[in-house]
Structure 1
Amino acid sequence: MKKIVTLIFLSVVGFYGCKEDFTTTPPKGSLGGDVLQNEEGVDLLLTATYGLLDGFISGDPWQASGDGWWLDASTDDANKGSHDNDQPDLQSFQMYRWTPSNSYFITKWLAVYGGVDRANSVINLANSIEGSDMTVKIAEARFLRAHFHFELQRLWANVSYISEDLQLDPDQPNSGPIWDQIAEDYQFAVDNLPPTQDTPGRATSWVAKAFLGKMYMQKGDYTTALPLLTDVIDNGPFGLIAEFKDNFTFASKNSKEAIFSIQFNIGGVANDANGNQAQALVHPSGGPYSSCCGFYTPTQDLANAYKTDAAGLPLLDTFNDSDINNDYGIESGDPFTPYAGNLDPRIDYTIGRRGIDFNGYGVNPGKDWAPEQPEAGPYLGKKGAYKFEEEADSKGAGNWGQQSSALNYNLMRYADLLLLAAECEIEVGSIAKAEEYVNLVRARARDMTYVKEVGGTADAATYVIDEYPVGTFAAQGAAYAQKAVRHERRLELGMEGHRYYDLRRYGSLIEVMEDFFVNEDRMYGNRFVDVTVEDKNYYLPIPLRAIDLSNGKITQSDDWK
């Protein structure tokens, strides 16, 4: 144990993940061994573990992003963005030219296993301290360890589970899957965490139960997942907030809808590491942001998904028959008429379209703000970009810091939970209950404040949305209900980093992406004509460097050999 504590001390003074409130830590090098070997030391190590939720441990922070934005670049929701020669490894990822040497894969791998190591440091130190009840601290660490292992399992499938007993010998054979070990950690957190915490951002028993349910869903065990998710919905402290847009503002961070979030903050210093560094590439490259870099741009396919019929319901089977108007290839000074048909109002809080206000900065003029249209498309992402009225609180300082905002990222919010439960209900429960959950989400979208014309009070577009009439799912059948729930997740959670995992859970990755390539090339021409998605693309290849560093104990997944 003495050897482990020494290792913990050396590691914690070498890196910190300092975020706002409880995740703000003392300066590097300020700890001594006498401080570490008590409850204060456990708290500091636990803080450092929460700090790694953002994925930044070394290298470029966006490559290990805790919000998963770059993973969405391989889905029908998002383009990589910028131009093709910018971040070539990410371009290869979008085009499904995946190799074990891709820098994004190894950076993510090291960051997530780094989180596992930090969690194990907390557990080992807590277990070494006599005379104090460290159960809650250990439960928080085990929740975080479960979270990091869950990411590994979802991304690579064939991975190693590293317990606290293996911290000094982490090069273990990757004989995954590791679902059972992840479930044990989450369950320990459910059983031993308090139902509330004094400080926002810390895990609770309700948070752990929600993630345990989500884990079982991703595994495909709907029967076990459903009662967990239902209990959180019926008895937990979470709920929908009135305004959809407030899930993406500084003022409404840690609302009752935010089940668990990565905490970000800016302190006024240039290039503040406490801000969301992973989003540094994502803000528009033109207009009021005017620095960098125009990555993570919505697709035409996602924009089309927001069409509605006269009753305000989505066009589940026909939304891609034609494209809503876009300004692809049209100069900002040339005439352009936005789409006049019916739209779900969530589109204009999700997708930056020409002719519509962009986060309070005025009318989006199109190409001048999205100059890389030939490769990135005509749209801009809005959810992760700070708002005009909140610049003082959420806009970072410095050349890169301007893009490191103080907006939290919701790893799970209540609408996500409702729609996960709806999926479960269709598979093993009540179709009527699934419809009820979907309608809760749609009712909020219907009743929220819509985007207005700049300087006016009229709606910025023809927004038409309503709930599904009671009994629709039952009358149309399970296949229809499943399609409706999956579509609703796109509408509600688009550009939030969930689509990559959803397509893999559905088992529809190849079919969806093949249709997407054809539909998207109506605008681009032949951009995606040679892209091929295979069964092996359900998981990433094990990074070559990880195999090399393990001295052969870690082996490549069979599909990637």
Structure 2
Amino acid sequence: MKFPTKYKAILFLTVLLATNLTSCKKVLDEENLSGITDETLYTTPKGFETLVNAAYSYQRWWYGKERGFNMGETGTDLWTNGAGDVYPDLTTYQNLQATNGALQEVWSNFYKAINVCNAGIARVGNSGMDEALQVQRTAEFRFLRAFYYYHIVETWGDIHLTTEETKGVITEANKTSVENIYTLIIDDLKFAIENLAPTTTEYGRVTTPAAEAFLARIYLTRGMNDEAASLAKKVIDNYGFSLLPNYADLWKMDNQQNSEVVYAVNYSANLNDNDKQDDNVYPDGDNRGSNSAHLLFIMKYDDQPGLIRSLEYGRPFNRYQPSRYLLYLFNEQIDSRFDASFQQVWLCNQPNASSRPPGMNVGDTAVFISKYAVPAAERATKNYTIYDDNDIYNTDGSSKNRLRYISMKKFMDNTRSSVNEAQSVRNAFVIRLAEMYLIVAEADFKLGNTIEAATYLNAIRERAANEGHKQEMDILASDVTLDFILEERAREFAGEQLRWFDLKRTGKLKENLQKYNPHANTYFRDYHLLRPIPQNQLDAVTNKSEFTQNPGYQ
């Protein structure tokens, strides 16, 4: 779905309407020279659509954004911080406090989004739309409200719940239980499923199968395994989705709208439509923009002999380094996902011969990073730079080189306009069909049906097999364990903003940090299963004795 440029000029009215819980000040203090108010704007179909678009747009605060990666991927068994990590307190839990900027931004903007959804639900009857479209838009608002509440409740636990539009400043917040929050989430998603269209011509707009897939994730989270498996199977069987034959094809820039994507947050090919900066609506500047994932997972390569920064290799922000554990989860001889996901070789692209190592030509190997030890005798025969497992990791898996490492390439974008362009038009996949297979497998395992669980796992593993190795990728029912399912999810979804939720859902976060991430394990405490409620929220409320900080945080 495209968010047109003209929408930005109107959206500040929506944000005025969506007064933020985290401040006693108005979000904006703008003079409305046009005389248009939200009371009149949203009484026409065209005007009301700006409210719908606004409700969708807040997904971009998480998906494809640095704060969402730090909250959804880091602080787990799969990632440690690279030298450029902006939120090391989320990555390692060291001194994680309520002043963390990522937490404040997500809390603030997701509550704005919820208020936009509440406003849309309340106002749709006066929108001038026909009745059928009113029901469709209400279903979209209710899906999105559930979507935002899920991220908030899983992150913070008992939190403020409201289903009413807020037009002014709130000074009190309630603490609603996780159970009651999920009651609303499930009710909203059931309504969405019953009333959404099964398909859409506007990519990025929610559909019936997307709502069913998201509810399957919710059911799995809540331990409703029969319901989770049933809905996931329905999405697999009934809507024409299919796994791409080649896992690597998922990440091609010219193949973003493919048969495996159930739901995505879309970014416009016109960068101006991605709200990189709008001083009225988003005074924090470059907080929205387009997809940032391409910047975050790649090592510092452009100061190495024979290399300069390029479109192909990306702009290295050097934020996240894969754990040694993640790399060794793959048997790259039989599993194509390692080569499809990670980069180990950088070819010489330095045009100036005098700046290249002797004997190195453009196109020759310039840097090779091995996940295995490379003997000194072999290194001596090469004119390129080699980093190996022993150069990068200690024997306990901790990192000793945060600048050079095997880099994840799934989100790379060589269609950017220049080597320094920070914006990418890559869409952020929220739900892929592969997740439905793995939801069935996990639910079946928990229900004791390991035979069917193995069948669904094998469907994913066979798709990932290198040519001629499908049989080697197959597992038996006796191989199915919760740990194996989590390993398979890591191989399939590394970097896709799911891992923290996976480990929390399965009760494995503490255990896996102890085993595989010594940096995070040093500082992790049980209370870190919830994040600290942002300090500016706590400062703003007047009922401070009722709305309190999560246990363990100061």
Q: TM-score range by the shorter chain?
A: 0.7 to 0.9
Q: Which has the larger displacement, 32-41 or 101-110?
A: 32-41
- Aligned pair in 2 of structure 1 residues 128, 241: CA closer, same or farther (>3 Å)? same
What SS class does the counterpart of residue 365 from structure 1 fall into? Answer: strand
The answer as to whether partners of 1:546 and 1:554 remain within 8 angstroms in 2 is no
Q: Which has the larger displacement, 128-137 or 296-305?
A: 128-137
Report the equivalent of 1:457: none
Report the equivalent of 1:36: 42
> What is the one-letter code of the residue matched to 2:523?
T
- Aligned pair in 2 of structure 1 residues 349, 220: CA closer, same or farther (>3 Å)? same
> What is the one-letter code of the residue matched to 1:116?
I
- Aligned pair in 2 of structure 1 residues 466, 168: CA closer, same or farther (>3 Å)? farther
CA shift, 1:466, in A, is 3.9
Report the equivalent of 1:75: 76
Structure 2 CA distance for aligned equivalents of residues 557 and 268 of structure 1: 39
What SS class does the counterpart of residue 320 from structure 2 fall into? Answer: strand
The answer as to whether partners of 1:426 and 1:482 remain within 8 angstroms in 2 is yes
Report the equivalent of 2:547: 554
**1:482-541 deviations in Å (ceiling 9; x for gaps):** 3332211111111222111111111011111011135xxxxxxxxx39813221111111
Report the equivalent of 1:445: 464
**1:122-169 deviations in Å (ceiling 9; x for gaps):** 222213336731110010011011100000011111212221355657
Counting only pairs closer than 5 Å after superposition, residues 76-91 of structure 1 correspond to structure 2 as 76-83=77-84, 87=86, 90-91=87-88
Structure 2 CA distance for aligned equivalents of residues 497 and 350 of structure 1: 15
Report the equivalent of 1:510: 510
Report the equivalent of 2:14: 12
Report the equivalent of 1:53: 59
CA shift, 1:355, in A, is 6.3
CA shift, 1:111, in A, is 2.0
Report the equivalent of 2:433: 414
Structure 2 CA distance for aligned equivalents of residues 131 and 93 of structure 1: 44
**1:31-71 deviations in Å (ceiling 9; x for gaps):** 944543122122111112111111179xxx94543xx3553
> What is the one-letter code of the residue matched to 2:99?
S
> What is the one-letter code of the residue matched to 1:145?
R
The answer as to whether partners of 2:262 and 2:433 remain within 8 angstroms in 1 is yes
Report the equivalent of 2:91: 94
Q: Which has the larger displacement, 408-417 or 69-78?
A: 69-78
Counting only pairs closer than 5 Å after superposition, residues 456-475 of structure 1 correspond to structure 2 as 466=471, 469=474, 472-473=476-477, 475=478
The answer as to whether partners of 2:294 and 2:413 remain within 8 angstroms in 1 is no
Task: Kindly indicate whether residue 481 of structure 2 is the aligned counterpart of residue 481 of structure 1.
Answer: yes
> What is the one-letter code of the residue matched to 1:174?
K
Q: Which one of the candidate residues 392, 406, 411 is aligned to 1:384?
A: 411
> What is the one-letter code of the residue matched to 1:427?
K
Counting only pairs closer than 5 Å after superposition, residues 152-163 of structure 1 correspond to structure 2 as 152-163=152-163
The answer as to whether partners of 1:249 and 1:407 remain within 8 angstroms in 2 is no
Task: Kindly indicate whether residue 281 of structure 2 is the aligned counterpart of residue 275 of structure 1.
Answer: no
Structure 1 CA distance for aligned equivalents of residues 448 and 155 of structure 2: 28
- Aligned pair in 2 of structure 1 residues 214, 168: CA closer, same or farther (>3 Å)? farther
Report the equivalent of 2:116: 118
Q: Which has the larger displacement, 365-374 or 227-236?
A: 365-374
**1:70-108 deviations in Å (ceiling 9; x for gaps):** 53221121222234xx52xx1122221211221221112
What SS class does the counterpart of residue 412 from structure 1 fall into? Answer: strand
Structure 2 CA distance for aligned equivalents of residues 345 and 300 of structure 1: 18
Q: Which one of the candidate residues 387, 390, 402 is aligned to 1:375?
A: 402
The answer as to whether partners of 1:54 and 1:278 remain within 8 angstroms in 2 is no
The answer as to whether partners of 2:60 and 2:265 remain within 8 angstroms in 1 is yes
Gaps spanning 5+ residues in structure 1: where?
1-7, 17-27, 309-341, 449-462, 519-527
Task: Kindly indicate whether residue 127 of structure 2 is the aligned counterpart of residue 129 of structure 1.
Answer: yes
> Relative CO higher for 1 or 2, CA cutoff 8 Å, sep ≥ 6?
2
CA shift, 1:296, in A, is 2.2
Gaps spanning 5+ residues in structure 2: where?
1-9, 19-31, 277-288, 303-308, 350-362, 370-384, 393-398
Percent of aligned pairs with the same amino acid:
22
Task: Kindly indicate whether residue 180 of structure 2 is the aligned counterpart of residue 180 of structure 1.
Answer: no
The answer as to whether partners of 2:242 and 2:260 remain within 8 angstroms in 1 is yes
> What is the one-letter code of the residue matched to 2:328?
N
The answer as to whether partners of 1:355 and 1:363 remain within 8 angstroms in 2 is yes
Structure 2 CA distance for aligned equivalents of residues 436 and 398 of structure 1: 44
> What is the one-letter code of the residue matched to 2:13?
S
Report the equivalent of 1:211: 214
Structure 1 CA distance for aligned equivalents of residues 348 and 43 of structure 2: 54
- Aligned pair in 2 of structure 1 residues 35, 105: CA closer, same or farther (>3 Å)? closer
Structure 1 CA distance for aligned equivalents of residues 35 and 294 of structure 2: 31
Report the equivalent of 2:327: 303
Quote the RMSD (CA, aligned, Å).
Answer: 3.5
Structure 2 CA distance for aligned equivalents of residues 364 and 489 of structure 1: 33
What SS class does the counterpart of residue 510 from structure 2 fall into? Answer: helix
What SS class does the counterpart of residue 159 from structure 1 fall into? Answer: coil
- Aligned pair in 2 of structure 1 residues 70, 200: CA closer, same or farther (>3 Å)? same
TM-score where L is the length of structure 2: 0.75
How many residues matched? 463
The answer as to whether partners of 2:336 and 2:466 remain within 8 angstroms in 1 is no
CA shift, 1:429, in A, is 5.7
> What is the one-letter code of the residue matched to 1:482?
L
**1:307-340 deviations in Å (ceiling 9; x for gaps):** 37xxxxxxxxxxxxxxxxxxxxxxxxxxxxxxxx
- Aligned pair in 2 of structure 1 residues 213, 13: CA closer, same or farther (>3 Å)? closer
The answer as to whether partners of 1:271 and 1:397 remain within 8 angstroms in 2 is no
TM-score where L is the length of structure 1: 0.74
Q: Which one of the candidate residues 514, 527, 534 is aligned to 1:536?
A: 527
- Aligned pair in 2 of structure 1 residues 13, 148: CA closer, same or farther (>3 Å)? closer
Q: Which one of the candidate residues 253, 261, 265 is aligned to 2:264?
A: 261
**1:398-445 deviations in Å (ceiling 9; x for gaps):** 95xx12111111111011111111100111263221111111111111
Q: Which has the larger displacement, 142-151 or 272-281?
A: 272-281
Report the equivalent of 2:29: none
